[in-house]
Amino acid sequence: MDVRVEQLTAGYSGRTVVDRVDMTVPPGQVAAVVGPNGCGKSTLLRAMARLHTPASGRILIGGDDVWGLKQRQAAHRIALLPQSPQAPEAVTVAGLVRYGRHPHQGLFRQWSQEDERAVERAMTATRVTGLAERRLDELSGGQRQRCWLAMALAQQTPALLLDEPTSALDIGHAVEVLELVREIAADGRTIVMVVHDLAAAARYADTLVAMRDGRIVACGPPRETIDTALMRELYGIDTEILAAPSDGSPVIVPVSPTPVRQAATG
């Protein structure tokens, strides 16, 4: 299903943080939301996930406004992986992933074979099946992030929101998680993720959504969107934009405002 944001405005205590944002992400694509700290990225994601009530506007998943649905219905459409998720103490990987099936449980619908199959598929897709009985707190950061993604996948929503899914990961684990994000999208899910790493956004996203002061200032394929003017507008720095030798994706190189002097030798 596609994800559409229409004229979304949201804020806190009378202060506008997200200002009349419009955005469309087709099914099976990845949109990366980038911008300086405080520009409204996480507030946008929280409003899309029904965790922060917008002042106006709509968030549509497959044509249905998520704020017009009941909470359980919305949980069948959209899942959020927050930046710093918290797990119950000593939970195992399998136990964590099963939490993703909570929106599908109810008074007259208890745990079923369908739930078990959804958990197994999610663990297989994220390659954590071999960790099923391990405690989450015993794993590396990259392994834990794959487990959290498995929990979100087990929810079986057509849309998935990721708030800085690679924060605090080293480059190896970050690439592993982003490759997994691409695989999830290729399976048909629509993904909106907030990222700070522009190189990662340029390489792994279909659409780059650049925000500043609560508004979208640029939106489109990374190769067509990232340029020196955008870097100056977003971050106030001069850059050079190079093309990666492997696939031509943009590589952003900051330009030092003053020449770097080499240390004298002798």
How high is the pLDDT of residue 264?
A: 47
Task: Identify whether 119 is part of a domain.
Answer: yes
Render pLDDT for 72-99 as a digit per residue (tens, 0 to 9).
888 889 999 888 788 877 899 999 999 8
Task: Identify whether 86 is part of a domain.
Answer: yes
How high is the pLDDT of residue 82?
A: 86
SS3 assignment for 59-72:
EEECCEEHHHCCHH
How high is the pLDDT of residue 108?
A: 57
Task: Identify whether 249 is part of a domain.
Answer: no
Render pLDDT for 215-259 as a digit per residue (tens, 0 to 9).
999 999 999 999 999 999 999 999 999 988 888 889 899 887 655
The encoded tokens of residue 215 equal 């508004």
Task: Identify whether 33 is part of a domain.
Answer: yes
CATH number at residue 137: 3.40.50.300
How high is the pLDDT of residue 193?
A: 95
Task: Identify whether 225 is part of a domain.
Answer: yes
Give pLDDT < 70 ranges for the chain: 105-109, 257-266
How high is the pLDDT of residue 257?
A: 66
HSE, CB side, 13 Å, CA atoms: give it for residue 133. 0
Task: Identify whether 260 is part of a domain.
Answer: no
Alpha-carbon distances, residue 21 vs 58, 193, 195, 227 (angstroms): 10, 16, 18, 22
How high is the pLDDT of residue 226?
A: 93
Cβ neighbors of 106 (< 8 A, separation 6 or more) are 72
How high is the pLDDT of residue 265?
A: 47
How high is the pLDDT of residue 266?
A: 42
Query: Is residue 248 classed exposed, middle or buried when 0-12, 13-18 and 19+ CB atoms within 10 A define those classes?
Result: exposed
Task: Identify whether 48 is part of a domain.
Answer: yes
Q: How many domains does the chain have?
A: 1
- Rounded to the nearest 5°, which phi and psi values hold at 250? -65, 140
The encoded tokens of residue 157 equal 């929503």
Task: Identify whether 243 is part of a domain.
Answer: no
Domain that holds residue 163: 3-237
